[in-house]
Amino acid sequence: MKQNLVIIFLLASSACFSQNNDNLKLWYNTPSGKTWENALPVGNGRLGAMIYGNVDTETIQLNEHTLWSGGPNRNDNPLALDSLNAIRKLILEGKQKQAEQLANKVIISKTSHGQMFEPAGELHLAFPGQDNYSNYYRELDIEKAVSKTRYTVDDVTYTREAIASFTDRVMVMHLTASKPNSISFTAFYSSPQPKVEVKTTLSKQLTFAATTIDHEGVKGMVRYKGIADFKTNGGTVSATDTSIIVKNANEVTIYISIATNFNNYLDVSGDENERAASYLAKASVRSFATILKAHVTAYQKYFNRVKLNLGITAAPDLPTNERLKNFHSTNDPQFAALYFQFGRYLLISSSQPGGQPANLQGIWNNKLYPAWDSKYTININAEMNYWPAEKTNLSELHEPFLQMVKELAVAGTQTAKDMYGARGWMAHHNTDIWRATGAVDGAFWGLWNQGGGWTSQHLWDHYLYTGDKKFLATVYPVLKGAATFYVDFLVEHPTDHWLVINPDESPENAPAAHQGSSLDVGTTMSNQIVFDVLSATISAAKILKKDATFIDTLTQMRSRLAPMHVGRYGQLQEWLDDIDDPKDNHRHISHLYGLFPSNQISPYRTPLLFSAARNTLLQRGDVSTGWSMGWKVNWWARMQDGNHAYKLIQNQLTPLGVNAGGGGTYNNLFDAHPPFQIDGNFGCTSGIAEMLMQSADGAVHLLPALPDAWQQHGFVAGLKAKGGFEIVLMEWKDSKLVKVIVRSFIGGNLRLRVPNELVATNGTMKAANGENTNPFYQVTATKEAVISSKATIGATDLKRTFLYDIATAAGKTYSFTIK
């Protein structure tokens, strides 16, 4: 039924109003040259590659998801426990700087500060005599996950297609030419890695092998092996010691297999040689056409679930880099839609079940010493990577992150015990493939102790979207462990008597009042995270009918947490004391965690806090690092201010270098912190979804923040809402919803909040009344906020909405049209 309805709709409107295939391409009329950020990313969650599309020497820069520096290790500082009380005391005495100095000695790791995600080198193909080329074109087709380069030399048109196969576990490049015997090149390998052994084999394969480097005292233990195999049609293949020479072929297929000895974060006893060889043996007997077909089908299983059309203009007829340049001044709704779908493409390509989660650069890095080690910063960045996962219908791809949380819970149990004398588990602000849970970088950044709390919320979120009780039962011990840590670690504030975290910090920001130190007690973000962890654990325990006494303990503790505060500038306070600087434009606005991704701040339930959050957003300003702008798109969407959210998208989709003092976007649409960080891509993708649909605040809210630029006509198909609902289709015209189709996977009350009156075309709907009875939409009330007597807050105007209740049954589809 659902499929039919959507197909009928999409067919009916496709002639004039589909998500045109050409809109799902990044394309360019110049090669990448030497610039990595011009190259186009492909990936299958295990392998990543950047395709440069250069004519005379093609470069395929390679990555493998488990290729990291170091080996299994821990980085706790066991001195912490003895000094914990001294640090707490110093902070309470206002000696934050001294506390920080002590924490640098006793809390910050004396061993690894996190290991690095490492490159697997580059395969180059040198084509003689191709300097004078014409008709150059290259593209990344994100509807098929295929990159293509095409150009003409002396009347011969050359085409190269590249994929990281989802089904065959290898990278494949397929080279063709419009005339026979035209393809000749020399293939060779290079790598920033020291000590790589490069060889050719009797069967004319090019191989490379090495062990990753030592880093910060941790011995490199990841061995890797790569094999490139060249299958030709016509022509000859020969080899030197370190290169393969193809001459006069009609067609060439290059298969690249890479594997490591990594089994899991505690075990590197696998056989990289056997693995690389077996992946290759299975794949290389299959033709490019066969592999391509299976690859596209596997990819589209995920990608095709969501279609987005934000309107049509003539703007897309330009290369992607030109559209990026113009986006600020041109109405190009297809570009925003392309960017949204590119975010989904990147998640599908860098995060597959059973693999490693997308790191700071997803699965793409060419540097031996990448920025921030290309690892996982869990005070925002890694969580942001997974914001689009559930709502853009890629729930299965959340798995690598959820698996990482489970592993952190094991590693972090010892950290909680050894460093803080607490039960349960915790993590600080960074982790890596070895699931390091110690504190790194310096106490200013690394002392933050909510890494376990925040990451654990993704488990709960996965449950809220899917309603999968079996999953909830398996992860309950992890949620419980995160809560148990807080049961032991929270302390009573000496004067206010709230339960607070001490030592604490609001990620990476310091109030001027603290002599440049970030250390504090009971910061707003920590209070909000603890509130969520306790609430989720209480709810999970109730659903699973477990741990009644523990529920009481948590409920009691939750009632003693510090409330949110509104300060003298009308701002949501970042710290318990009213010490925010209204001119502070720090990229982290951590205390707005309560607005998004959490839902403790609501226009309907907590209007004062909502307005205070708006003041904070205005005070902090718009332009910032890439990921910060991505977060702001989500916040302005929650503010129901589509035009401001759109302004942030414009700021983010600006070529790097134009935003004074801020980030932007590279030609290949990678987000620029700068440097490249993928979190901004994912953050903005989530933000665009939040502008169209939210399921946070007691209802499924459709079109909460539609900007003027997209109001005319558009549709989205396939977004997911909490409680197992899919917005099979939602179409709008002139800001009004004209058609809505919702599928219920698990039944329950569907409460719709919409901008105009609707009527049901099947099923019955009634005006909503009272609390939403759907358990997935229960929101725990926060404590009443403390408001400064100096604060002028003002009210935030909201557009009128209509609220309906529809009783749904599992598996049924409901449609509505404009009244």
Q: Which residues bind ligand FUC (CB under 6 A)?
A: 360, 372, 377, 381, 508, 587-588, 625, 627, 673, 677
Give, in order, the Cα–Cα distances in Å from 312 to each of 18, 109, 333.
9, 53, 7
Least Å distance, CB 117 to ligand FUC, is 12
Closest separation between CB of residue 367 and ligand FUC, Å? Answer: 14
Q: Could you give the 3-state DSSP secondary structure of residue 503? A: coil
**Helix 642-652 / helix 679-692 crossing angle, nearest 10 deg:** 160
For residue 767, give the amino acid letter: A
Among residues 377 and 518, whose Cβ is nearest to ligand FUC? Answer: 377
| Torsion of the alpha carbons at 489, 490, 494 and 498, rounded to the nearest 10 | 180
Tokens 């807050």 locate to 793
Phi and psi of 367, rounded to 5°? -110, 145
Looking at the Cβ atoms of 531 and 676, the one nearer to ligand FUC is 676
- For residues 113 and 438, is the Cβ–Cβ distance under 8 A? no
**Quick one: 453 or 707, whose CB is closer to ligand FUC?**
453
Nearest approach, Cβ of 673 to ligand FUC (angstroms)? 6
Contact 722, 779 (CB under 8 A): no
Comparing CB distances to ligand FUC, the nearer of 265 and 372 is 372
Dihedral of CA atoms 689, 691, 695, 698 in degrees, nearest 10, equals 180
Alpha-carbon distance 612 to 606, whole Å?
10
Q: How far apart are CA 741 and CA 159, in angstroms?
A: 42
Shortest spacing between CB 382 and ligand FUC, in angstroms: 9
Are the C-beta atoms of residues 439 and 83 closer than 8 Å to each other? no
> How far apart are the C-alpha atoms of 583 and 563, rounded to whole Å?
24
* Paired tokens of 75: 């980085």
Q: What is the DSSP track for 337-380?
A: HHHHHHHHHHHHHH--TTSPPPBTTBT----SS-GGGG-EETTT
Map tokens 């295990």 to a residue: 46
Nearer to ligand FUC, 253 or 381 (CB): 381
358: left (phi over 0), alpha (psi -120 to 50) or beta: beta
**For residue 425, which of 479, 496, 370 has the smallest C-alpha distance?**
479
| Residue 213: CB minimum distance to ligand FUC, A | 21
Measured from the CB atom, the residue of 148 and 429 that comes closer to ligand FUC is: 429
Q: Which is nearer to ligand FUC, 378 or 669 (CB)?
A: 378
User: Cα–Cα distance between 684 and 652 in angstroms, integer?
Assistant: 8
Q: Which amino acid is at 404?
A: M
Consecutive H or E run containing 414: helix 399-420
Q: What is the DSSP letter of 405?
A: H
CB-nearer residue toward ligand FUC: 61 or 381 = 381
Minimum distance, C-beta of residue 581 to ligand FUC, in the bound complex (Å) = 18
| Phi, psi angle pair for 631, to nearest 5° | -65, -40
Helix or strand (DSSP H, E) at 478 = helix 469-489
DSSP states of 662-675: S-EE-TTS-EESSS
Comparison of 224 and 635: residue with beta carbon closer to ligand FUC: 635
Strands 565-566 and 786-787: parallel
Identify the CA nearest to 256 among candidates 59, 400, 54, 37: 59
Could you tell me which residues come within 8 angstroms of residue 810 by beta carbon, excluding any fewer than 6 positions away? 724, 744, 745, 746, 747
DSSP string, 670-720: -EESSSB-THHHHHHHHHHHHHHEE--SSSEEESTT--GGG-SEEEEE-EE
Choose between 147 and 625: whose C-beta lies nearer to ligand FUC.
625
Distance CA(454)–CA(581), nearest Å, equals 26
Residue 139 or residue 508: which is nearer to ligand FUC going by CB? 508
755: Cβ contacts below 8 Å, ≥ 6 apart: 702, 703, 706, 735, 736, 737, 799, 800, 801, 802
Residue 730: strand pairing partners:
716, 740
Q: Which is nearer to ligand FUC, 95 or 673 (CB)?
A: 673
What residue type is 551 in one-letter code?
A: I
Using the minimum distance from each CB to ligand FUC, give the nearer residue, 32 or 366: 366
Q: Phi, psi at residue 230, to the nearest 5°? A: -115, 110
Q: Which is nearer to ligand FUC, 377 or 695 (CB)?
A: 377
- Could you check whether the bond before residue 370 is cis, i.e. omega within 30 degrees of 0? no
Contacts of residue 110, Cβ cutoff 8 Å, sequence gap at least 6: 77
The β-bridge partners of 732 are: 714, 737
CB of 438 to ligand FUC, least distance (A): 16
* Closer residue to ligand FUC in complex, CB, 334/625: 625
Taking the least distance from each CB to ligand FUC, the nearer of 508 and 641 is 508
- Beta-bridge partners for 117: 68
Quote the least distance from Cβ 409 to ligand FUC, whole Å: 22
**Beta carbon of residue 627, minimum distance to ligand FUC (angstroms, whole number):** 6
Helix (H) or strand (E) holding 211: strand 205-211
By beta-carbon proximity to ligand FUC, the closer residue of 686 and 749 is 686
Choice between 361 and 611, CB closer to ligand FUC: 361
